[in-house]
Amino acid sequence: MLTDYHMHLQPDGRDARRAAAHRWEAHGGHLSTGWIGEYVARARSRAVTEIAFTEHVHRFAQARDWLDNPWWREEATEDVDAYCDALVAAREAGLPVLVGVEMDWLPGREDEVARFLEGRPFDLVLGSVHWLGAHGVDHPDFPAWDAMDAQAVWSAYLDELVAAARSGLFDVLAHPDLPKVFGHRMPAALAERLDEAVAAIAASGVAIECSSAGLRKPVGELYPEPGLLARLRAAGAPATLASDAHSPDDVAADYPTAVAALRGAGYETLTRFRGRTPTQETLRWG
């Protein structure tokens, strides 16, 4: 089977949401089964039979105080329980959707993260390192790249990625080599650190995400790049497959490229989740 285990019901940022609102309003809102069904329809057209919605935790009022950043607080307008209810209702209506969330790794917030996840019907939880303190790894308005050099960004990022894996809070590490998004490659001097990170991630038991989203970003390649994907496979890390779509159009985008990379890396199965319990399913079209 093929899955898409990372997508969002709306684009990021108020202006982008305002511009796109007519699309979900035509279905009765972004939490309507009709709008969720648009994502399912695009998935099916691309041979994908199960999808997971993984809204950003920063969209939820319940997480508004987790980061001292004006953009973060401005984005925190949604109610996580209404979001979960909408996905459960869509599933009860027969749509093959899982309830997920994209959490941020924010050192010092482990207890809040655990409480947020507790008692909610999540099938899978993504862990993402988007922030290095006050600096954004991929946020163009708060770029780490203006404050730190490439060695410092990548070095801090690898430390936080390993800490996120070891925290046990997450099922999947999303876009594992995200700092390359704007084209800043990892300096060769960090090769040994990357080896250690690969080993630590595999030892933690967390799955890693093969994401086609990087193909739509300035860097123009998969997360992780195929060489790193092969190293994660050799170390024993299970994988998921994802688009990180922010509208139905991008669901399962560029899957021929992503599936070829997974196969090239030696993956014969994808990790499937239900109620945060992983199983392995054969990777194949249809």
Per CB under 5 A, residues contacting Zn ion are 102, 128, 244
CA-wise closest residue to 136 among 210, 49, 231, 72: 72
Nearer to Zn ion among residue 199 and residue 216 (C-beta): 216
Question: Nearest approach, Cβ of 9 to Zn ion (angstroms)?
Answer: 11
Q: What is the DSSP string of 14-38?
A: HHHHHHHHHHHHTTTSTTSHHHHHH
Nearer to Zn ion among residue 102 and residue 160 (C-beta): 102
The two structure tokens encoding residue 176: 């594992």
Question: Nearest approach, Cβ of 20 to Zn ion (angstroms)?
Answer: 16
Nearer to Zn ion among residue 181 and residue 265 (C-beta): 181
Question: Nearest approach, Cβ of 88 to Zn ion (angstroms)?
Answer: 21
Nearer to Zn ion among residue 86 and residue 213 (C-beta): 213
Question: Nearest approach, Cβ of 197 to Zn ion (angstroms)?
Answer: 18
User: Is residue 241 within 8 Å of 270, Cβ to Cβ?
Assistant: yes
Which residues neighbour 159 within 8 Å (Cβ) at sequence distance 6 or greater?
none
The two structure tokens encoding residue 75: 């984005």
Compute the Cα dihedral for 119, 114, 117, 50 and give only its sign: negative
Residue linked to tokens 């399913």: 281
Backbone dihedral angles phi then psi of residue 102, each to the nearest 5 degrees: -100, 105
Question: Nearest approach, Cβ of 145 to Zn ion (angstroms)?
Answer: 17
Question: Nearest approach, Cβ of 213 to Zn ion (angstroms)?
Answer: 7
Nearer to Zn ion among residue 5 and residue 154 (C-beta): 5
The two structure tokens encoding residue 50: 């199960």
Instruction: Find residue 51's DSSP bridge partners.
Output: 4, 97
Nearer to Zn ion among residue 78 and residue 102 (C-beta): 102
Instruction: Find residue 172's DSSP bridge partners.
Output: 126, 207
Per DSSP, helices labelled H in 8-132 are 14-25, 33-45, 70-75, 80-92, 110-117
Provide the Cα torsion 252, 139, 265, 2; round to 10°: -20
* CA angle (241 as vertex; 109, 259 as ends), nearest 5: 150
Nearer to Zn ion among residue 177 and residue 244 (C-beta): 244
Question: Nearest approach, Cβ of 246 to Zn ion (angstroms)?
Answer: 7
